Each structure stands twice: as C-alpha cells, then as structure tokens.
C-alpha cells in the first residue's frame, strides 16, 4: 500500500515535467551507427533519507540528507557506468570524462546544466526548451571536434532511502532521465525516464551505516548496481527500450 502511495507521489512529482519522446526507429539506427559521448550530471549530490514512524494515533515522517558533493565524484563514475552500459547496447559510447578533462567539462557544460536537469527550476529559454534546443555552441563544437556525433546527457532525481513503518521494508528510489542530442543538427532527438522503486535489505544496519560507511561503499555499490540493472531488467522497461534504442523483448 505504501509502495502505491510512494509511486503515486513520484508520479505527482514528475507531472508537469516536459516529457521527452523516445527516438524514432530511423534516429535510433543513426545513433547506433555514430559515436556518442555519455555525460551523467549529478546535480543533486546528496542522499535523501525518510523514516516513517507509527504512533497509533498518528504517523510521522522524519527526514535527513547526506551531502556527498566533493566527497564522491559521482558524475564521473556514473558517466563511466552509463557509457559502459550503452556500449553493451551496441553504441559506440564513451564517457565524456574520457574525452575532456574535468575542468574543461565543468566549463563546457555550465550553461546546459540548468536545462538538462530533473530539479524543479524555472525553465531557461521558455517552456520545453531542453526538448526544442540542443546544447551550448561551445560544448557542441568541442564534441564535434573530438569526433562525436551524439551526446547522451543523463541526470537523475537523486537517491532516496525510505524507511517505512507497519512492518513494511525499507525501499530505495530514484528516477533517471536521458536526453540524446544530435550534435550535427544540434537538437534533442529524444530521450526518456526510467524509474526505480524497490525494497532494500539494510542487513540490520541504520540507513547511514548501510550507505555511507567505508567511504560510501554501500551507496556507490547500490547506485551502480541499480543503474546497470535498469539497462537489463525485462519485463520492466529498460533504458534501451524506453529510449527506443532496443525493441521490447
């Protein structure tokens, strides 16, 4: 029941966001044949914790956050994870961090970070700007100069660990969003969202210990495992099928 409410909440949170359509079959073929740079931008950089408490007459929810900005370079690591998985889908994909230095990438992507995001910020360039426009001219030219045909920009909602009450297990949730940009035409060809909401076994530990001890070992492993699983987890929609890069099984 709680899972239903959480799913409903997630849907409400995402309602109103401009939907990014999946690739047409011909665009998917072109992307498969070209070179793609993969860039994951973690503009959240914090873990969200929620804990429900049951008091018979009331249920309360407590929250806390854990900031990992400057402690884990998640954008770099998760760009590599996504590039690896896109390669397994048959794309000639490479992490943007293999193409540019971190400093150059930070400078080149600065302008587009506020457009290609799942965070609720005022849209720049009018409603639907990300779907209508490509990337900033400097980023586009830099990628073209490096022989790239497409940019797969990925971002996410951030990771939430929700500890429930009434005997329900803790769950973890996040939403991934992808945009595929044709660099030659400088326009977004398509994209899509892939969500994850599932119970998680904390093995008797607190949420913070489960995710944060040993230099975030649990968190890093959990995020990588679940992102990789989103690429190969039929019958649930996979990243490949949602983006139109793969036919549903």
Partner 1 sequence: MSSMKRCGAALLVTAVVMLSGCSTGSIGVRSDVGSQPFEAGKTTRTDVVNKIGLPQNVEKDDAGNDHYFYERSAHLTGMCLGCGVVGNTNGAIPAAAIEHSKAKAKKNVVEFVFNPEGTLINGQ
Beta carbon nearer to partner 1, 165 or 222: 165
The correct pick among 11, 17, 25, 71 for binding partner 1 (CB under 8 A) is 71
Residue 237 contacts by C-beta under 8 Å, 6 or more apart in sequence?
194, 248
Q: Binders of partner 1 among 106-165, rule CB under 8 A?
A: 161, 163-165
The correct pick among 27, 30, 35, 169 for binding partner 1 (CB under 8 A) is 169
Is residue 212 a contact point for partner 1 (CB under 8 A)?
A: yes
Kindly state the smallest distance separating residue 59's Cβ from partner 1, in Å: 4
Kind of pairing, strands 35-41 and 150-156? parallel
Residue 91 contacts by C-beta under 8 Å, 6 or more apart in sequence?
31, 32, 36, 245
The correct pick among 21, 33, 63, 248 for binding partner 1 (CB under 8 A) is 63
Tell me which residue of 239, 225, 235, 242 sits closest to 172, measured CA to CA: 225
**CB burial of residue 87 (10 Å; 0-12, 13-18, 19+):** middle
The correct pick among 14, 131, 197, 202 for binding partner 1 (CB under 8 A) is 202
Beta carbon nearer to partner 1, 47 or 180: 47
Is residue 73 a contact point for partner 1 (CB under 8 A)?
A: no
- Residues 27, 189: contact at Cβ < 8 Å? yes
Omega cis (within 30) before 213: no
Is residue 11 a contact point for partner 1 (CB under 8 A)?
A: no
Q: Give the CA dihedral 143, 146, 148, 151, nearest 10 degrees.
A: -30
Phi, psi of 70 (to 5 degrees): 85, -5
Kindly state the smallest distance separating residue 195's Cβ from partner 1, in Å: 16
Residues that bind partner 1 (rule: CB under 8 A) add up to a total of: 49
Beta carbon nearer to partner 1, 118 or 161: 161
Segment interacting with partner 1, rule: CB under 8 A, options 137-145, 190-198, 208-216, 231-239: 208-216
- Residues 102, 80: contact at Cβ < 8 Å? no
Which residues of the shown chain bind partner 1 in the complex (CB under 8 A)?
A: 1-2, 5-6, 9, 47, 49-71, 161, 163-170, 202, 205-209, 212-216
């Amino acid at each position: 029941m709680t899972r239903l409410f959480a799913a409903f909440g997630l849907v409400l949170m995402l309602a109103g966001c401009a939907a990014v359509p999946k690739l047409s079959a011909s665009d998917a073929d072109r992307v498969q044949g070209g070179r793609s740079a993969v860039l994951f931008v973690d503009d959240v950089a914090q873990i969200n914790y929620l804990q429900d408490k049951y008091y018979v007459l009331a249920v309360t929810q407590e929250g806390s956050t854990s900031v990992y900005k400057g402690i884990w370079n998640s954008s770099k690591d998760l760009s590599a994870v996504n590039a690896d998985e896109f390669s397994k889908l048959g794309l000639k994909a490479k992490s943007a961090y293999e193409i540019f230095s971190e400093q150059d990438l930070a400078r080149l992507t600065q302008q587009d970070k506020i457009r290609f995001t799942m965070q609720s910020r005022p849209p720049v360039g009018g409603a639907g700007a990300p779907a209508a426009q490509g990337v900033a001219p400097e980023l586009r030219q830099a990628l073209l100069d490096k022989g790239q045909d497409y940019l797969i920009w990925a971002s996410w909602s951030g990771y939430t660990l929700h500890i429930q009450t009434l005997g329900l297990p803790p769950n973890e949730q996040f939403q991934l969003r992808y945009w595929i940009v044709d660099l030659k035409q400088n326009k977004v060809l398509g994209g899509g969202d892939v969500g994850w909401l599932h119970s998680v076994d904390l093995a008797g530990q607190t949420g913070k210990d489960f995710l944060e001890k040993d230099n975030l070992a649990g968190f890093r492993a959990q995020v990588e495992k679940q992102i990789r699983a989103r690429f190969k987890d039929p019958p649930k929609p996979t990243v490949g099928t949602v983006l139109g890069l793969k036919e549903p099984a």
